[in-house]
Amino acid sequence: MRIDAEPYEYDLDLKSAALLIIDMQRDFLEPGGFGEMLGNDVGQLRRTIEPIRALLAAWRQAGGLVMHTREGHRPDLADLPPAKRIRGRGITCIGDAGPMGRILVRGEVGHDIIPELYPAAGEPVIDKPGKGAFFATDLHAILRNRGISQIVVTGVTTEVCVNTTVREANDRGYDCLVVADCCGSYFPEFHEMGLRMVKAQGGIFGWVAPSRAVIQALRDVTS
Ligand code: TIU
């Protein structure tokens, strides 16, 4: 399945591919969570919801593997680096009570994935303590056990968790296709540069394509 991508076409093999949806959690996309705690306008990220929803529907329809990640920490905060706890130096810190429960803590309402993109039964959810989805998680083992070598990457934020994960994946030998309009940042210029960094130098970390190119390819195989 050829997808029109940059810097050149991406040859998607659905049986060897996973759609990875990174950190589409209330804590990043709704007021009162971690994103706002850091001083960000969470409205910047919400434009990604509809494109991801459409791609997710097409991917599920085609029978592809879907995986989700969530950034967050143990309720006892034993896995939280001290510098990360006070990041932003605001009034509230990770682990403090907020309107959606304790900020960035597993099991709290704010930590969970937004209802629009909620995981379906059987779709693996990876809980990660860091920015990269491979650090201190079983993502690599799950992908290998399922014979996955290609990752179609979506989610937030482009220059933080998406870029970190793509770099980790690239060094582990995965071919990453980043879906441009399905990623977002609190800073539009960082989003733009985050995508450019992936596809520069002949695709130094991977490929970039718009969701319409991926959805079109999926429709061609399912019709
Ligand atoms: N702050 C910011 O842009 N992002 C994060 O802290 N985590 C993710 O990107 N998920």
Q: What share of the chain is helix, strand, coil (3-state, %, to 5)?
A: 40, 25, 35
* Residue 48 token pair: 């990604």
Mean pLDDT value across residues 114-142: 98
Question: Residues lining ligand 1, CB < 6 A?
Answer: 23, 28, 38, 71, 131, 156-157, 160-161, 186
| Catalytic-residue membership of 128 | yes
* Ligand 1 atom at minimal distance to the Cα of residue 38: 1
What pLDDT, on a 0 to 100 scale, did the predictor assign at position 222? 77
Residue 223 has pLDDT above 80, yes or no: no
Q: Tens of pLDDT along 151-200?
A: 999 999 999 999 999 999 999 999 999 999 999 999 999 999 999 999 99
Average confidence score pLDDT of the chain: 96
> Which atom number of ligand 1 is nearest to the Cα of residue 35?
1
Query: Ligand 1, residues 26, 29, 160, 187: which to mutate, most atoms within 8 A of Cβ?
Result: 160
Residue 84 CA from chain centroid, whole number: 20
60-115: pLDDT as tens digits: 999 999 999 999 999 999 999 999 998 877 788 999 999 999 999 999 999 999 99
Active-site option among 23, 112, 175, 181: 23
Instruction: Please give the Cα distance from 14 to 17 (Å, whole number).
Output: 5
182 vs 32, which has greater pLDDT? Answer: 182
- Would you call 15 a catalytic residue per the annotation? no
Determine if the peptide bond prior to 7 is cis (ω within 30°).
yes
Pocket test for ligand 1, best of 161, 163, 193 (most atoms within 8 A of CB): 161
In the reported structure, the alpha carbon of residue 211 is separated from the centroid of ligand 1 by a whole-number distance in angstroms of: 22
DSSP 43: G
CA of 130 to the centre of ligand 1 (A): 9
Peptide bond into 157 cis (omega under 30): yes
Report the pLDDT value the prediction gives residue 89, as an integer from 0 to 100.
79
Residue 221 pLDDT greater than 90, yes or no = no
Q: Whose CA is nearest to atom 7 of ligand 1?
A: 161
* Known catalytic membership, residue 161: yes
